Every structure is written in structure tokens, then in C-alpha cells.
């Protein structure tokens, strides 16, 4: 196995292969921020690129700002547990998921707006008794709304109540600490990747996989509604990333940005298409091939492109056939131990 790991991955331009209807350039790009030896220029370019084009984080920030300025309840109102603001937050979360996941699913899968262009796996959404209600889409919608969105909302309500009562340090405005206000968005991106890797590894332990995470992994091929199709225990773990805001001083825009990155981010990263095309022009980034590989090969890519934890711990699949061989060998070892 060690011998295979030393092999250099073959490079391939974006396109079609035996395994994929479409794949990005291989091996897939990872953030160079943690590269050794350090590549400061590449790291700065990667970090700035995240914020200078219409990337998912930019969309999540726009959503966070719109919600904060136009829809968010008053902090004074949140002081006491009251149905008014609780229902308002629930409405925002359910509304956001329904709008974005429905729009994306309708465009890509019902209207077939870009047919199979830039679609990773050409297979359609499944109809199978493996899924609740016998169809992948209704199953995924059910678990997204009845499990993940409820858990996400519960975490946000808890945070708001604790913050409004002054039990954790908060940031009241940009002017209070402009450097921290901006820097925290970068910290959240790394934290999200770090936290996701570890909770994801945890739920790949056999008992938790069989009883919890299996529900998400029934989706070997994924669509927008698959992103948050999670067991309640997984949902609880997944959104527990919010705990960072109980420790580090946060503004509601930070919390909203973080929660939209986890929720809407999962809807888009599971879209199944690399990018959205509008009139044949690339409109924006959508699916994550890094995570699509996890859904096909299971025991790889537990984290994301932002931190090389998979590379450090030997579970990185870079999309090349060499990596597939290595991950299959790893899987055999894992299952031999069970
Ligand atoms: Zn998994
Ligand atoms: Zn997934």
C-alpha cells in the first residue's frame, strides 16, 4: 500500500471518463494554505479568490446580510423565550431551504436546464425501496425538513437565547472590532472544514455508520435535496459547529453566514453538477466533486478542500484512477478489521 501512495497522480483535464460523465481537472485542487513547504503567494490567491467571484461563501454572506438587515428579530425581543421570534427564525430557515433546494432541483432535474452538461454521475435520481416513500427525492426532502432543518433551527434558537442574555461574548457591530469582524469569516471557513472532518470520521465508526450515517449514504448519486438528508443524530452533530460562537465573540452575521454555509452549502455541494450553466455560460459553482467521490467510494474525503486533513490521515481521493485503487485497498483493510 505504501508503494501505491508514493505514486504520482496522473493529471487529466476536465472532461468525461469511464467512471464519470464529467469530472473537473484531476487531481482535484486543494487549498494550498497548509502546504509544506509553504506557498504564501498561492495561499493568498486561493483565500482571495474565495471572496472575489460569485463563490458559495459569497452567496452565503449575501444571504446572511439580507436576512440580518431585513428579517432578523430584535435582540431585545430574543431576551425571553417567546413564540414570536422562535417562529420567525424557523420560518427563515425552512424558507431558505425550500426556496434554494426547490429552485436548484427544479432547474437541474425537472426542467433539465443544462441536461447532463457538467453532471458528474449521469444516473437519474433513484426509485427504490431503500428510500423512505420509495423514491430518493421525496425521501431526501422528508429528512431535510423533518430532521436537519429542525436541528439547525434548534441550535440557532439556543445560540440566540444564550447570546441575547449575555451569557456568551458577542460582537455588536463591525466598528467594535473591524479586524476580528473580517478575520472571523476566514476562521469560520477553516473551522467548518475541521469540524466536518472530525464529526464525519466519528459517524463512519461501524455502529454510528450503520444506525445513523447510513441514511445519508443511501445516496450514492446525489442531488440538491440529498445534502441535508440526514438522521437526527447526524444533524445534531453536523450543526454543532455553531458551538464556536459560544466561545469566540460573534455578530449575528457571522452565525448566519456559518449556518448558511452548512445548510445551503450542503444543498449546492450535493447538486451533482460542477457548475450551473445559464444559456451555456457558467453562472456559478455548484457541486463538490471532492464530496461526490465520498458518496461513491465511502471511505475517503471525509473533509473538504479547505483543509488537507484527508491527505494528512491517508484518506484523500484526488479523483484519479490511482487514488481509486488506493482507496479500494484502504477499504479492504478497514473491512478486514471489522
Ligand atoms: Zn460519510
Ligand atoms: Zn454528503
Mean pLDDT, rounded, for 263-287 = 95
For residue 8, the model assigns a pLDDT of 54
**CA 193 to ligand 2 center in whole angstroms:** 14
Q: Is residue 61 part of a domain?
A: yes
Grid cell listed for 109: 432535474
For residue 42, the model assigns a pLDDT of 96
Percent of the chain with pLDDT over 90: 90
Q: Is residue 174 part of a domain?
A: yes
Mean pLDDT, rounded, for 229-236 = 98
Ligand nearest to the Cα of 227, by number: 2
**CA 248 to ligand 1 center in whole angstroms:** 28
Ligand nearest to the Cα of 298, by number: 1
Q: Is residue 281 part of a domain?
A: yes
**CA 89 to ligand 2 center in whole angstroms:** 25
**CA 19 to ligand 2 center in whole angstroms:** 19
How far apart, in whole angstroms, are the C-alpha atoms of residue 66 and residue 35?
A: 36
Q: Is residue 20 part of a domain?
A: no
**CA 294 to ligand 1 center in whole angstroms:** 7
Q: Is residue 255 part of a domain?
A: yes
What would the pLDDT profile of 174-226 be if each residue is shown by its tens digit? 999 999 999 999 999 999 999 999 999 999 999 999 999 999 999 999 999 99
What would the pLDDT profile of 136-170 be if each residue is shown by its tens digit? 999 999 999 999 999 999 999 999 999 999 999 99
Q: Is residue 31 part of a domain?
A: no
Ligand nearest to the Cα of 272, by number: 2
Q: Is residue 94 part of a domain?
A: yes
**CA 298 to ligand 1 center in whole angstroms:** 6
**CA 228 to ligand 2 center in whole angstroms:** 8
Provide the residue count of the chain: 338
What would the pLDDT profile of 96-145 be if each residue is shown by its tens digit? 999 999 999 999 999 999 999 999 999 999 999 999 999 999 999 999 99
Mean pLDDT, rounded, for 33-44 = 95
- Is 49's pLDDT higher than 50? yes
* Contacts of 80-85 spanning 24+ positions with Cβ under 8 A: 81/161, 85/160
Q: How many distinct structural domains can be found in the chain?
A: 1
Alpha helices in the chain (DSSP H): 2-6, 40-52, 56-70, 75-78, 83-105, 136-143, 149-164, 178-202, 206-208, 214-217, 232-238, 244-247, 252-269, 289-297, 309-312, 321-337
Q: Is residue 186 part of a domain?
A: yes
**Domain residue limits at 259:** 38-120+134-190+222-292
**CA 221 to ligand 1 center in whole angstroms:** 13
- Is 2's pLDDT higher than 50? no
Amino acid at each position: 500500500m505504501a508503494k501505491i501512495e508514493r505514486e504520482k497522480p496522473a493529471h487529466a483535464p476536465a472532461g468525461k471518463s469511464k467512471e464519470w460523465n464529467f469530472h473537473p481537472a484531476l487531481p482535484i485542487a486543494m487549498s494550498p494554505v497548509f502546504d509544506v513547504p509553504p506557498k504564501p503567494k498561492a495561499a493568498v490567491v486561493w483565500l482571495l479568490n474565495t471572496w472575489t467571484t460569485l463563490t458559495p461563501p459569497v452567496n452565503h454572506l449575501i444571504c446572511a446580510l439580507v436576512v440580518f438587515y431585513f428579517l432578523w428579530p430584535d435582540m431585545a425581543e430574543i431576551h425571553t423565550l417567546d413564540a414570536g421570534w422562535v417562529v420567525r427564525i424557523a420560518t427563515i430557515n425552512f424558507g431558505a431551504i425550500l426556496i434554494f433546494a426547490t429552485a436548484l432541483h427544479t432547474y437541474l432535474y425537472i426542467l433539465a436546464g443544462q441536461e447532463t452538461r457538467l453532471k458528474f454521475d449521469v444516473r437519474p435520481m433513484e426509485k427504490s425501496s431503500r428510500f423512505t416513500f420509495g423514491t430518493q427525492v421525496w425521501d431526501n426532502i422528508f429528512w431535510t425538513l423533518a430532521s436537519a432543518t429542525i436541528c439547525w433551527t434548534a441550535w440557532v434558537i439556543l445560540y440566540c437565547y444564550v447570546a441575547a442574555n449575555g451569557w456568551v461574548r458577542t460582537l455588536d457591530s463591525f466598528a467594535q472590532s473591524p479586524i476580528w469582524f473580517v478575520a472571523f469569516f476566514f476562521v469560520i471557513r477553516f473551522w467548518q472544514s475541521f469540524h466536518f472532518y472530525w464529526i464525519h470520521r466519528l459517524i463512519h465508526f461501524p455502529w454510528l455508520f450503520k444506525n445513523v450515517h447510513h441514511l445519508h449514504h443511501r445516496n450514492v448519486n446525489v442531488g440538491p435535496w440529498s445534502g441535508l438528508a440526514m438522521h437526527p443524530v447526524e444533524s445534531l452533530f453536523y450543526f454543532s459547529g455553531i458551538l464556536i460562537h459560544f466561545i469566540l465573540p460573534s455578530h449575528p452575521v457571522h452565525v448566519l453566514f456559518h449556518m448558511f454555509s452548512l445548510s445551503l452549502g450542503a444543498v449546492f455541494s450535493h447538486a451533482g453538477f460542477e457548475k450551473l450553466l445559464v444559456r451555456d455560460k457558467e453562472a456559478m459553482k455548484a457541486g463538490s466533486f471532492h464530496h461526490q467521490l465520498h458518496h461513491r467510494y465511502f471511505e475517503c474525503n471525509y473533509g473538504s478542500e479547505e483543509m488537507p486533513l484527508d491527505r494528512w490521515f491517508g484518506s484523500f481521493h484526488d479523483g484519479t484512477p490511482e487514488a481509486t485503487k488506493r482507496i479500494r485497498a484502504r477499504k479492504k483493510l478497514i473491512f478486514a478489521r471489522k
